[in-house]
Amino acid sequence: MSTKFAALLSLIFIYSLTASSQKNMKPARVVMSNSDTIAGLIDYGEWLNNPSSVLFTTDKNKPASRYGVNELSYFEVTGLEQFKRYTVRISLDNDAITTVAEKDTSSATRTVFLKILQTGKNLSLFSYRDELKRRLYLLDSKDSTPQELLNSVYMVNNQVNEEKQYRHNLLNAAARYLPGDGVIILQINNAGYYHDVIGEICSKINGIEPSAVSATVNPRSHPGWRFFIGAGINNGSLVMFGANLFTGQTTQPFYYPVGSLGADLVLNPASGKLIIRGQLQVTGYKTDAYHFVDYTQYTEQYVFKFRQVNIAFEPQLLYNLYNQKNLKWYVSAGIGFNFSKYPENSMNFTRTGAADTSKVANDSYVQNLRSVWLNGFFTTGVDLRRLELSFHYFTKADVTQTPAYGLSNQSIQLRVSFYLKK
């Protein structure tokens, strides 16, 4: 089983090298550094971080060229996202709780594309995310360069402290454009470092409704959920190993039905490539073995029967290598958290002699079976509108804790799923 699947994985990998280059071209507009405005198409990716360059073409039949901060002053993917070039100060402290230490005021000046979250008559709000963290920027209409809204996080007397300097920036803007407004002051003093919270404050200072914000941030701000159920066939193997008389003699594979249900979190529905999937599946496994010994005066027969019922939770990261509206091809990988029961675990011994026959039954033959165990898995599948056909490979894992011998579990599955909501 593993050899065949290794070959299949190799084919998938080779094909993915070409499939991963597939473009997701969306209508777009760019402004060159010389102020020329050009309409065309941009290869729209996941962009979990702010892009440093984009692939752009004026015609879908022409090859795309890459443009960065040296060539573009602005670009937008129509109806989805807008970015503008600025040279700004970028804080370099890490705000992850696990890395918080003393206050770090280090920064660097860089030319980057800031994502436009809101533009207004008084204030404009931007965001910038890189491998380190996410940052928010505020541009006053009287200024030409956005200022980072800082929120220094560091340790003081073994306590995590958030300095929340961004509130000072917002209070200054409120005093300038909404003097004496106690409601906005209270809102700022309670504001967390979230783009929707700060965006609402900027909307009030700009005198506009949040729904009228010019930049569209919904595609990435609200990841999409979809739900599915499925069924299929499990080709499972239970193999005895170690110092046991049934080692190498267990029957495999056996086929069992599979039932599944799950949910997908599409991180950016506008591109639809990267997905976090959580899935439950229930199936079964079984095996048997027969061992016979002829001692001339008598014979001995050993008959082993084993059955496993398994429920697994399968979190995984899924990526669409080919990504069209009505046809997608994906690969995924994850870890299976398995919960098992063993309704049959018997070994029947029969000794037959010339004068008599004796029998011994053992209904708990394999000892120290795991009720909870882990395995890894890989999946590839095709998504056809609301139907999905998928192939799953589950790596070999021990389901016993016996040091001398035990049983290993391994399987491949073929499933068909139906999306209840997509």
* Dist CA 238 CA 245 (whole Å): 15
Q: How far is CA 67 from the centre of its chain?
A: 29
pLDDT reported for residue 8: 52
Q: What is the pLDDT of residue 221?
A: 45
Lowest model confidence (mean pLDDT) among 19-23, 192-196, 229-233: 19-23
Highest mean pLDDT among 96-105, 119-128, 155-164: 119-128
Residue 171 main-chain phi, psi, to 5 deg: -65, -40
Question: What pLDDT, on the 0 to 100 scale, is given for residue 45?
Answer: 83
Predicted local confidence at residue 272, as pLDDT: 83
Q: How confident is the model at residue 212 (pLDDT cuts 50, 70, 90)?
A: low
Q: Which residue has the higher pLDDT, 15 or 371?
A: 371
The SS3 of residue 8 is: helix
Mean pLDDT of 33-59: 93
Nearest in space to 170 (alpha carbons), one of 198, 136, 210: 198
What mean pLDDT is reported for the chain? 89
d(CA 42, CA 27): 7
Angle at the Cα of 9 from the Cα atoms of 334 and 264, rounded to 5 degrees: 35
Would you say 257 and 236 are in contact if contact means Cβ atoms under 8 Å apart? no
Angstrom distance (rounded) from CA 205 to CA 120: 9
State the pLDDT at residue 422.
66
DSSP label at 223? P
pLDDT band at 222 (very low <50, low <70, confident <90, very high): low
- Work out whether strand 65-68 and strand 53-57 pair parallel, antiparallel, or are unpaired: antiparallel
Q: pLDDT-derived band of residue 254, with 50, 70 and 90 as boundaries? A: very high
DSSP one-letter string for 69-136: TTTEEEEEETTTEEEEEEEEEEE-----GGG--S----EEEEEEEEEEEEE-SSEEEEEEE-SS-EEE
Any residues with CB less than 8 A from the CB of 374 and at least 6 apart, and which? 335, 336, 337, 338, 397
pLDDT at 22: 64
pLDDT value for 224: 80
Segment 387-400 mean pLDDT: 96
| Across 212-216, 248-252, 283-287, 407-411, least confident range | 212-216
What the chain holds in terms of domains, given with CATH numbers, is: 22-218 (no CATH), 223-421 (2.40.160.20)
The CA-atom distances, in angstroms, between 108 and each of 87, 93, 111, 390 are: 10, 11, 10, 47
Q: What is the pLDDT of residue 96?
A: 67
Q: What share of the chain is helix, strand, coil (3-state, %, to 5)?
A: 15, 55, 30
Tell me the per-residue pLDDT of 1-10, one tens digit each, with 9 for 90 and over.
Answer: 555 554 555 5
Give the predicted TM-score (pTM) of the model: 0.69
For range 12-16, the mean pLDDT? 48
Structure tokens at 103: 């206050």
The pLDDT of residue 197 = 94
Q: Tell me which of 31-40, 79-88, 128-137, 262-271 is least confident.
A: 262-271
**Element holding 16 (H helix, E strand):** helix 2-19
* Residue 20 pLDDT > 60: no
Residue 283 has pLDDT above 70, yes or no: yes
At 263 the three-state DSSP class reads strand
Q: Over 60: is that where the pLDDT of 330 sits? A: yes
**What confidence tens digit (pLDDT) does each residue in 147-179 have?**
999 999 888 777 888 899 999 999 999 999 999
Give residue-wise pLDDT tens across range 55-90: 999 998 999 999 999 999 999 999 899 999 999 999
**Region of poorest pLDDT, from 39-43, 114-118, 159-163, 199-203:** 159-163
**Extended strands (E) in 267-371:** 274-294, 298-313, 316-324, 327-353, 357-362
> Smallest Cα–Cα separation from 287: which of 407, 415, 397?
407
Helix (H) or strand (E) run with residue 140 in it:
strand 134-140
Q: Quick one: 294 exposed, middle or buried, by C-beta within 10 A (0-12, 13-18, 19+)? A: exposed
d(CA 320, CA 277): 12
pLDDT computed for residue 17 by the predictor: 44
Interacting residues of 222 by C-beta distance below 8 A, sequence separation 6+: none
Q: Give the pLDDT mean for 401-417.
A: 93
CA 19 to chain centre: 19
Q: Would you state the pLDDT for residue 106?
A: 92
User: What local confidence, expressed as pLDDT, does residue 253 receive?
Assistant: 87
**pLDDT of 223 over the 70 cut:** no
Who has greater pLDDT, 224 or 384?
A: 384
